[in-house]
Amino acid sequence: MEHARSKSLLNLTGLTEPAEGGGGGGGMRRSLSQVFMPDCKFAAVEGGGTTFRVAIAHGDPTNVVDRAEFATTTPAETLGKVCRWLAEQEYDAIGIASFGPIDPNPASPTFGYITTTPKPGWKNADIVGPILAVRRVPFMFDTDVNAPAMAEFTLGGVRRDGCSSCAYVTVGTGIGVGLVVNGKSVHGLLHPEGGMVSVPRFDGDSFHCVKDMAIPTSVEAMAASSAIAQRAGVPTPELAALPDSHPVWDEAAHYLAGLCANLILIASPERIVLGGGVFNRACLYDKVRAATRKLLNGYIQVPALHADNIDNYIVSSVWGAEAGLVGALALGQVALLNYRQSQALGVQTSAPVDNSRDSETYGFVMDTRQKQVSAAAGGGAARKSAGATGTSVPLLVGAAAAGAALAMLATRMVKR
């Protein structure tokens, strides 16, 4: 069968904010997402190195009503299947989250591409272009770890707990890190590539990393699923049969704790969420927590890192294996929210000029007069501030601004 399809496979609308006056008791509770768009449909594409998953959610990013998955083979074959599936669906916006490295800069000629990936055949593959060719709708594009990081922040309770930041770490065939800081996804120079962080060796560890790793001393080289399997001397599919007492789990926990310690020291997130297939081994959570405290050696003295609190600081994902898919759906919801906000402000969306695509939904928001100036100038003005034209100031809409907007509006709506 070409793909697996199911209906209503994920319904997590219990993830809600308390209604006004409803504390821990029996007060009515309502979903953050359903408050905004109960009649809308969001599409998602989650591009992984092994599998591409697609889904449709109704009203709420956590209410999946249809989904499918396809093996990641070549870009043409995989994206062809994705696009054919999407062409059969109805949706109002789409979120696209992909393995990387990606180009998330809307002003770049390769925006929407996977760039320098070591995965054969996928270097410089255009992901966004073919997907938007199916249907022009508001969209957002980010990494497959930044997307679930934003979902954990906006929908999973991190923001509700009074936090402004979190990190999402996924551990499977590779290791990735997504970061939300001050309510915004971190891109900067590119985007976080935390799986490539170097970590100190476990005492007595003589393991040589898996072949062809870009950075041989990285945490991915030491503790991704293939590395753990090589350490244990078993094929990767047989890791599940190993007992919790096997020493390989202590070794893996050390390297994953090294990543957590580096995140704490550099980005200072208020929550670290761990997910991915390797964390199906539940004993790893306590091992990573203990090893993180050991590596930090008491240097960071905050209550969240105390032995009796760290269970609430380094945590599992709210959605488990569905975190990436919910993250992509959340991007779609935020894209639609931003689009409607731009319409209310009387502005239009326009693509950066890259001589390759003419989509009108690349995240740039400008008013009509600015768009006319852009056309007269051959498009170069598309990246200039609307302030220079004497008209309203434009908004550059991306996952960063989107998360803050969703959080703000969620708070307002819930308090009604």
Per-residue model confidence as pLDDT tens digits over 160-187: 888 999 999 999 988 999 999 998 888 8
Rounded mean pLDDT of the chain?
A: 78
pLDDT number for residue 408? 41
Residue 409 pLDDT more than 50?
Answer: no
For residue 358, tell me if it sits in a domain. yes
pLDDT-wise least confident of 70-84, 136-150, 233-247, 400-414 = 400-414
Check whether residue 101 and residue 198 sit in a common domain.
no
The whole-number pLDDT of residue 347 equals: 60
Average pLDDT rounded to a whole number, residues 230-243: 95
Query: Does residue 356 sit within a domain?
Result: yes
5: in domain: no
- Same domain assignment for residues 55 and 194: no
Question: Do 130 and 34 belong together in one domain?
Answer: yes
Residue 270 and residue 174 in one domain? yes
Would you state the pLDDT for residue 193? Answer: 87
Instruction: Mark whether 293 and 379 lie in a shared domain.
Output: no
Tens digit of each residue's pLDDT (9 = 90 or more) over 11-34: 333 333 333 333 332 222 233 443
Same domain, 338 and 198: no
Locus of tokens 């949706």: 91
Q: What CATH number is given to the structural domain containing 105?
A: 3.30.420.40
Averaged pLDDT, 146-163: 87
133 and 170 both lie in a single domain: no
Q: Which of 112, 143, 174 is the last residue of a domain?
A: 143
Task: Give me the pLDDT at residue 190, please.
Answer: 81
The mean pLDDT value for 365-374 works out to 34
Q: Quick one: average pLDDT of 294-305?
A: 96
Q: For residue 246, tell me if it sits in a domain.
A: yes
Could you tell me which residue, 372 or 406, shows the higher pLDDT? 406
pLDDT score at 340: 86
175 and 277, same structural domain?
yes
**pLDDT band for position 320 (cuts 50, 70, 90):** confident
* Share above pLDDT 90 across residues of the chain, in percent, rounded to a whole number: 56
Task: Quote the number of domains for the chain.
Answer: 3
Q: Is residue 263 part of a domain?
A: yes
Residues 287 and 345 in one domain: no
Among 10-24, 73-87, 216-230, 348-362, which is the least confidently predicted range? 10-24
The residue from 143, 169, 204 where one domain ends is 143
Q: Which of 116, 143, 170 represents a domain boundary (last residue)?
A: 143
> Can you give the pLDDT at residue 183?
83
Quick: pLDDT tens for 46-59: 999 889 999 999 99
Assess if residue 323 is contained within a domain: no
Quick check: is 117 in a domain? Answer: yes
Confidence of residue 350 (pLDDT cuts 50, 70, 90): very low
Range of the structural domain that residue 111 is part of = 10-143
162 and 288 inside one domain: yes
Q: Are residues 307 and 165 both part of a single domain?
A: yes
pLDDT of residue 108: 93
Task: Look at residue 153 and tell me if it is in a domain.
Answer: no
| Domain shared by 278 and 384, yes or no | no
